[in-house]
Amino acid sequence: MHLFWSFSLFIIMVFVIGLYCIFVSYNLIRILIGVEVLIKAATLLIIVAGYITGREALAQSMVITLIVIEVVVVTVAVGVMLGIRSINNSLDARRIKSLKG
């Protein structure tokens, strides 16, 4: 089996796991964990693509950029979650429907 396809099998599986978690969960922390799992799949895809095309250096610089963005997204999302919790006293996504705006 082709190397890229072999890795893609597992990347697609991890991607589906993250996507399912986002769609099915109501807890905001768990939804963020689902997003993280999705990002792991994307990271692995970039690394595998870099390895196969012989452009590891470019792939690594891309992944480092991705990791920086990931950290900022998680940090801001955690701040937003704490804000929502202080207002609703809950992290249930169904209760955010009552927000104005």
Partner 1 sequence: MSIFDGITLFSLVAAALWTVMTRSLLRSAIGLALTSAILTVIMFRLNSPLAAVFELSVCSGLISVLFVSVISLTHPLTIQEVIQHMKERMARFWVLPFLVIAIGITLILFNIKPEIRLPAPETVKDVRVVMWNLRQVDVMGQIIILLTGAFGVVVLFKERIKK
How many residues sit in the footprint of partner 1 (CB under 8 A)? Answer: 68
Residue number, 38 or 97, with CB nearest to partner 1: 38
Instruction: Give yes or no for residue 18 binding partner 1 (CB under 8 A).
Output: yes
Instruction: Give yes or no for residue 65 binding partner 1 (CB under 8 A).
Output: yes
β-bridge mates for residue 92, sequence order: 27
Task: For the segment 43-62, give every residue that binds partner 1 (CB under 8 A).
Answer: 43-44, 47-48, 50-62
**The two three-digit tokens of residue 73, written as one number:** 């997204």
Pure H helices in the chain: 3-24, 28-53, 56-88
Instruction: Give yes or no for residue 92 binding partner 1 (CB under 8 A).
Output: no
Instruction: Please count the residues of the chain.
Output: 101
Residue number, 2 or 97, with CB nearest to partner 1: 2
CA–CA gap between residue 12 and residue 20 (Å, rounded):
12
Contact 11, 45 (CB under 8 A): yes
Kindly list the residues in this chain that would bind partner 1 in the complex (CB under 8 A).
1-10, 12-14, 16-18, 20-21, 24-25, 27, 29-30, 32-34, 36-37, 40, 43-44, 47-48, 50-65, 67-76, 78-83, 85-86, 91
